[in-house]
Amino acid sequence: MTTRTPERRQLTVMFCDMVDSTALSLRLDPEELADVIQAYRRHCTDIVNRHGGVVARHVGDAILAHFGYPRAHENDAERSIRAALDIVASKWPTPATASLKVHIGIATGLVVVGRLPDGGEDLSAIGSALNLAARLQTLAGPDKVLVCEQTHRLAGGLFHYQDLGTQALKGFERPTPAFEVLRERKVGSRFHALRPPVLTPLVNRTSELEELRRLWESVKAGEGRAILITSEPGVGKSRLTEVLAERIVEPDCIRIWYHCSPNSQSTPLAPVIQQFAIAAGFAEQDDDATKLRKLEELVPKEAPDAAEIFSVLAHLLSLRSEDRFSPLNMSPQRQRQRLFHVLLQSLAAFAARGPLLLVIEDLHWIDPTSDELIGVLIDRLSRLPILVALTARPEFEAHWDDKGRLSHMTLPPLERQDAITLVELLCGERRIPQATIAQIADKTDGMPLFIEDLTEEVLESVAQRGAESGAAARGEASFPIPTTLSASLMSRLDRLGSARKVAEIGAAIGREFSYDLLARVADLPEELLRDELYRLVHAGLLVSGRSTAILSYAFKHALVRDAAYSSLLKKNQVALHAHIAQVLIDQFPETAESEPETLAYHFQAANDLDNAADYLVRAAKVSARRSGFVEAIVQLERALTLLGNQAKSPERIRRELNAYRTLGGIYAEHKGFSSADCGRAYTKALELCRELPDAPEIFAVLSGLGAFEITRASFDRCQALAEECLTRAAAQTSKPPFVMGHLLLGGTHFLKGELAAARTHLEEALLIYDEDRAPRRGKQVLYTQDQKSTGLAYLAITLTLMGELEQGREAGESGLAHSRSLGGLHTVNYSLCYLAAAHYIGRDTRSALTYATQSLESAREQGFATWIGISQIVRGASLVHEGRIDEGLRELERGRIAHASMEAAAYEPFAQALLAEGLIAADRLDEAHDTLVRALAIVETTGERFYSAELLRLQSEIAIKYHDRSNAEQCLRQSIEIARGQQAKLLELRSSASLRQLNDVAAPK
């Protein structure tokens, strides 16, 4: 037995107890009784072992056997039932036990198994399957075998059962289904016995069917052919032969099926015998005479030596009849020759009636004699119109001398799209989310068997937990391993012996892992590790690959990875993940840096939620740097959820603050500072700042929230935040907080049209700004705009409005140059956009057009929503000025819509003014008038007055076109007055010029 450490796995357990052992103990002398019990135990143990199980424990005269540990087989449930039926049917060895009867209970379920601490010598398994098997055993009548629902499901149609309905079992809350096994079923096909009766429509396989069709055509033309179809289990070999038989072979043709099976590999010609028994229609209760009669009907009458065929077959099927024919009197070699001859004769006789399909399934389980028979058959094919379709797993190697009659087909897994189609077909009316379908496709690697079982499992869990609450319904990634696949997946791992440990470590790292990381985590001698990996690759569990210098491995099937992983005890999983995270941090700092999400994953799995949250925040930043904003937001929300489950502490607040602040920045970049989400995140961050005695983050948060308020045109609030910023900044030495405060104030004053004050703060900000501390190319945190670039952008417009056109242009240009030197695309875009606006205001509309176009292109390319609408507006208005009125208006209209979607209130009057200019140029005066009225109303509510003088001047233009001279004059006078109050020299001059012109025109010559 093994000394493996405990693990989780699916196990089938069998309890077998003697009936009425008390009576026996009263009847016998103790010594005699001991002999009987010994003999009984030895006998049961033999049978259990023969079927691949182990006896784990004796409890009095009960025997507890495990099927599926220490080594799993893909058909453990079936094996346990066969063992049970054999025990029931067996002849007991000693006379004292001759009339002995037993009760047997079998159950399958998830257990923890292995040598448990303090478990003594016994192999212990812990799990409800043990209790269930024990209860079923007490319920079973003498020599009856009861199985649970799970075992019943796994062994499928291989046996006849009586459904006992649900039973109230002691200790089980709910009534539990139970089945009594009656006997083995004579099944033709394991495929049909084990798969659900309703097949899903076939997906794809067009080219394979095409090839089979071609072969069938040549068979019909008289030339026999054979084809060996190979694939891993579950890819669809059996299904393909089914389809061949149904769709390609004509209905009146004969089809014969031979099935090899795992439990008759050492029975000569087992598939042939079984086929005759089925074809002849033998029933359980038939005596030999009846069976012979049935067999006789099966023998083709037209065969030249029908009588001999009949007697050889009767012998093969062990049917005796003195009066019909004498027993064969030949040497075994001779007998075999005759047998082969007869079998081929009978096939030939059938083939003489017309082309024939012979399917031989699962050759990897074939017995040597049948194997030889197939060799002979293939050798004779040239004269027989037979298509022999053979199926096998990859480990089977054909070794017949086939003379070119045998072709090979390797059946590939389904392509992803076909896999998705299959999942959808399986779901039918039952809906699961698209994301879950995609995950099933990811997990199952195009293996139809995996797809069917996993989809079924997911559908069941959705049905059980209610459509909306299940993990599957929410599209979460963790699926249980389907019960039906568990044994076959575990059997692959168990064959690996010590290499399994390596597979488990690999599985904890992930579906893919590098050799280097595995080596550091596993800490095994290099030679041994390479050896184990070689075995894993050779066994088809891993594939290895080399990208550049890195040797890496991947589990060929995601489900194999899952099986290896889930066999680890939970606490071992936790320890392993903690170890992996530590190794990554200590020895792979670059990976830790560039793939923080990987670390977050391991920390979370190691229950180290603080570290997990920290690395999720880092991961979000990395995602955002790659413009994966949606991913970044999801990562931050996950971090916040993790933190939300922690006890409240300053540490937790600090972490939450970090997450919210990052979230605010990412929303700023993704949806603009003006987005409500951005405002919410920063507001939350500010609240958290205030819960801590001193949080250096507060400046960044105030700045972020300030930017939100300014874009919402909430100038008072922005001003209050800016002032808080400056007050707090006074208490410390670092410069950026000062710059921040001044910038926010400068921006607010500018928008309100308080240009001189704006200029003072902006110049102050630029003065304090520390060139050396500017984050350099590639290093800057994405979403914070550079302070100098921001200051120069505001200043460009402020100075232009103040009539200092040259200085304004210079400020804008040098701001752009500075942004470019830093390399942050968002900042560059920002500078471009402001520079375009400054040029437009200064009436250099050609330059405005150039920069606005660049700004728009960059915004589109990088997906910076903030800059799209406003760039289009400036671009459209510039086009209008350049005389391209229609084109300009169209662009203005598009820009207006894009800008409106930003939830931004700031710059709205400016945008409306530009739109109105376009409308005036197009002589759409009424619309222009309405636009201006709207703009002025906004000015009244928000107080954004820097462009008010221009709004009034535009109103005067409309009035002039309507020949309303006095209204025009009034507008202009008002405009001049406002501009003068704001020191907006440019606008003052512009309106004054208009007024002079108005007076000139009006003045009598």
Measured from the CB atom, the residue of 53 and 448 that comes closer to ligand ADP is 448
Nearest approach, Cβ of residue 235 and Mg ion (Å): 9
Measured from the CB atom, the residue of 97 and 238 that comes closer to Mg ion is 238
Among 235, 377, 423, 880, binds ligand ADP (CB under 6 A): 235
Residue 947: half-sphere exposure toward Cβ, Cα within 13 Å: 26
Among 73, 82, 237, 809, binds ligand ADP (CB under 6 A): 237
Nearest approach, Cβ of residue 387 and ligand ADP (Å): 18
Among 109, 271, 385, 448, binds ligand ADP (CB under 6 A): 448
Strand runs (DSSP E) across 436-589, as ranges?
512-514, 542-547, 550-555
| Residue 205 sits in the site that holds ligand ADP (CB under 6 A) | yes
CB neighbours (10 Å) of residue 607?
12
Among 195, 492, 761, 990, binds ligand ADP (CB under 6 A): 195
> Looking at 79-87, 199-207, 336-344, 372-380, which segment touches ligand ADP (CB under 6 A)?
199-207
Measured from the CB atom, the residue of 452 and 844 that comes closer to ligand ADP is 452
How far apart are alpha carbons 750 and 754 in whole angstroms? 5
C-alpha separations of 972 from 445, 925, 988 in Å? 74, 18, 9
Measured from the CB atom, the residue of 15 and 257 that comes closer to Mg ion is 257
Dihedral angle at the C-alpha atoms of 645, 647, 649, 654, nearest 10 degrees? Answer: -10
| Residue 191 sits in the site that holds ligand ADP (CB under 6 A) | yes
| Residue 233 sits in the site that holds ligand ADP (CB under 6 A) | yes
Among 65, 145, 203, 932, binds ligand ADP (CB under 6 A): 203
How far apart are alpha carbons 951 and 969 in whole angstroms? 14
Measured from the CB atom, the residue of 204 and 683 that comes closer to ligand ADP is 204
| Residue 231 sits in the site that holds ligand ADP (CB under 6 A) | yes
| Residue 484 sits in the site that holds ligand ADP (CB under 6 A) | no
| Residue 528 sits in the site that holds ligand ADP (CB under 6 A) | no
| Residue 313 sits in the site that holds ligand ADP (CB under 6 A) | no
How far apart are alpha carbons 777 and 625 in whole angstroms? 13
How far apart are alpha carbons 787 and 775 in whole angstroms? 11
Nearest approach, Cβ of residue 278 and ligand ADP (Å): 19
Beta bridge partners of 91: none
| Residue 422 sits in the site that holds ligand ADP (CB under 6 A) | yes
* 365: nearest Cα among 485, 492, 266, 458: 266
Site string (370-409) toward ligand ADP, x via CB under 6 A: ----------------------------------------
Nearest approach, Cβ of residue 446 and ligand ADP (Å): 10
Query: Which of ligand ADP, Mg ion, none does residue 342 bind (CB under 5 to 8 Å by kind)?
Result: none
Give the 3-state secondary structure of 731-760. CCCCCHHHHHHHHHHHHHHHHHCCHHHHHH
Nearest approach, Cβ of residue 782 and ligand ADP (Å): 47
| Residue 851 sits in the site that holds ligand ADP (CB under 6 A) | no
Nearest approach, Cβ of residue 236 and ligand ADP (Å): 3
Binding site for Mg ion (CB under 5 A): 238
Amino acid (one-letter) located at 179: F
Nearest approach, Cβ of residue 541 and ligand ADP (Å): 17
Nearest approach, Cβ of residue 413 and ligand ADP (Å): 10
How far apart are alpha carbons 233 and 239 in whole angstroms? 12
| Residue 199 sits in the site that holds ligand ADP (CB under 6 A) | yes
Give the 3-state secondary structure of 358-418. EEEECHHHCCHHHHHHHHHHHHHHHHCCEEEEEEECCCCCCCCCCCCCEEEEECCCCCHHH
Beta bridge partners of 440: none
How far apart are alpha carbons 819 and 828 in whole angstroms? 5
C-beta nearest to ligand ADP: residue = 236
Nearest approach, Cβ of residue 233 and ligand ADP (Å): 4
C-beta nearest to Mg ion: residue = 238
| Residue 238 sits in the site that holds ligand ADP (CB under 6 A) | yes
State how beta strands 54-59 and 62-67 pair: antiparallel
How far apart are alpha carbons 240 and 206 in whole angstroms? 10
| Residue 809 sits in the site that holds ligand ADP (CB under 6 A) | no
Beta bridge partners of 155: none
> Looking at 79-87, 320-328, 445-453, 660-668, which segment touches ligand ADP (CB under 6 A)?
445-453
Query: Which of ligand ADP, Mg ion, none does residue 195 bind (CB under 5 to 8 Å by kind)?
Result: ligand ADP
| Residue 208 sits in the site that holds ligand ADP (CB under 6 A) | no
Measured from the CB atom, the residue of 39 and 539 that comes closer to ligand ADP is 539
> Looking at 11-19, 446-454, 470-478, 489-497, which segment touches ligand ADP (CB under 6 A)?
446-454
Measured from the CB atom, the residue of 452 and 494 that comes closer to ligand ADP is 452
What token pair was written down for 438? Answer: 């995609």
Residues 6+ apart with CB under 8 A from 37: 61
Measured from the CB atom, the residue of 432 and 916 that comes closer to ligand ADP is 432
Q: Nearest 5°: CA angle at 487, between 390 and 131?
A: 145
Nearest approach, Cβ of residue 194 and ligand ADP (Å): 8
How far apart are alpha carbons 169 and 64 in whole angstroms? 19
6: DSSP letter? P
Query: Which of ligand ADP, Mg ion, none does residue 205 bind (CB under 5 to 8 Å by kind)?
Result: ligand ADP
| Residue 259 sits in the site that holds ligand ADP (CB under 6 A) | no
* 775: nearest Cα among 766, 786, 767, 783: 786
Q: Is the peptide bond before 262 cis (omega within 30 degrees of 0)?
A: no
| Residue 662 sits in the site that holds ligand ADP (CB under 6 A) | no
Nearest approach, Cβ of residue 258 and Mg ion (Å): 13
What token pair was written down for 663? Answer: 């979230």
Q: Are 145 and 104 in contact (CB under 8 A)?
A: yes
Q: Are 67 and 12 in contact (CB under 8 A)?
A: yes
| Residue 452 sits in the site that holds ligand ADP (CB under 6 A) | yes
In the sheet that holds 550-555, the strands lie side by side as: 512-514, 550-555, 542-547
CB neighbours (10 Å) of residue 103?
22
| Residue 10 sits in the site that holds ligand ADP (CB under 6 A) | no
> Looking at 197-205, 348-356, 867-875, 879-887, which segment touches ligand ADP (CB under 6 A)?
197-205
Measured from the CB atom, the residue of 125 and 244 that comes closer to ligand ADP is 244
Please tell me the count of residues contacting ligand ADP according to CB under 6 A.
20
| Residue 130 sits in the site that holds ligand ADP (CB under 6 A) | no
How far apart are alpha carbons 151 and 741 in whole angstroms? 72
Nearest approach, Cβ of residue 362 and Mg ion (Å): 6
Beta bridge partners of 430: none
C-alpha separations of 339 from 329, 373, 401, 602 in Å? 13, 10, 21, 63
331: DSSP letter? -
* 497: nearest Cα among 552, 554, 541: 541
What token pair was written down for 840? Answer: 């437009």
| Residue 239 sits in the site that holds ligand ADP (CB under 6 A) | yes
Q: Which residues bind ligand ADP (CB under 6 A)?
A: 191, 195, 199-200, 202-205, 231, 233-239, 422, 448-449, 452
